[in-house]
Amino acid sequence: MQQRQQGITYWIGIAAALLAMAAYNLLPFFWMISSSLKTDIEVTSFPATILPKGLTTAAYSRIWNQEGFVLYFLNSVKVSGSTALLSALVGVFCAYGFSRFRFGGRKFLMTLLLASQVIPGVLLVGPYFKMMTLAGLYDTHFALILAQTTLTLPFSVWMLKGYIDTVPIEIDQAAEIDGASPLQCLIYCILPNILPGLVATMIFAFLLAWGDLLWALCLINSPDKLTMTLGVTNLVGQFRVLWSDIMAATVIGCAIPAGAYIFLQKYLVKSAASSAVKG
């Protein structure tokens, strides 16, 4: 009887801890959505209201009809999508080479890729700005895409190499006996087996580029090339902060990564499951 009571107490404690963690993580999103549905007066009132008294979507209308916001949204989709595609394309070729071929300096290069992840990105802003200016690429989306790809590529290579290692090399050898080239082995034998991992890698690169502010702030200057994160910062004025508009813009910005997780959830689950089992 005492053991049963201890077991019930244990699971109640676990449930309470999980609920507390869920509340801690979900509370900012709840407050963001609630504030976006409040009027300009209510959102700055004190004491603050948890739920909007006067439910309104005026902030969403103002944001979506604001000059340049749709363009900022499309620019973010362009930069983030290109970063994800380029990171996955280059990463899968690099990972295939590291996984299937043996060459001098292979372990050193893999260690160097991993070590590059501990360097703070802010330290690279200056050199990148200088390089892009000298190359004539400053204030272009291409420069921003290259910068974001440089940050995501090392992790993508490491992640994809792990997935390729789980594919038996006998599959490659059987394809080579039938006359397949290394490129054909990669396309027809490897890629179908690591598709969940490839999707997970692309989502990682997309989300990192989607939420970027620092690199866009340093490499983009023209108003028609601003990304969504820069567009949101423009809502912070010198004498007034449009909190309801900022919250509405943030909700719209969060809808893209949330939608990606919902529609690609099955690939993420397969990716997590396959990474836990080798063979």
Q: What is the pLDDT of residues 216-244, one digit of tens each?
A: 888 888 888 888 888 888 777 655 677 78
In a 10 Å sphere around its CB, with 0-12 CB exposed, 13-18 middle and 19+ buried, how is residue 243 labelled? middle
- 26 found inside a domain: no
Nearest of 200, 189, 212 to residue 271 by alpha carbon: 200
| Upper half-sphere CA count for residue 57 (Cβ side, 13 Å) | 6
- 111 found inside a domain: yes
Inter-residue contact 108 to 233 (CB < 8 Å) = no
Where residue 3 falls among pLDDT bands split at 50, 70, 90?
A: low
pTM across the whole model:
0.78
Provide the token pair at 195: 């598709």
- 61 found inside a domain: no
- 189 found inside a domain: yes
- Is the preceding peptide bond at 127 cis, omega within 30 degrees of 0? no
- 167 found inside a domain: yes
What is the span of the domain harbouring residue 78? 68-275
State the CATH number of the domain containing residue 170: 1.10.3720.10
- 59 found inside a domain: no
51-83 pLDDT, tens digit each? 888 778 878 888 877 767 888 888 999 999 999
- 62 found inside a domain: no
- 230 found inside a domain: yes
3 state SS of 201: helix
Nearest of 175, 200, 178, 179 to residue 188 by alpha carbon: 175
Domain count, the chain: 1
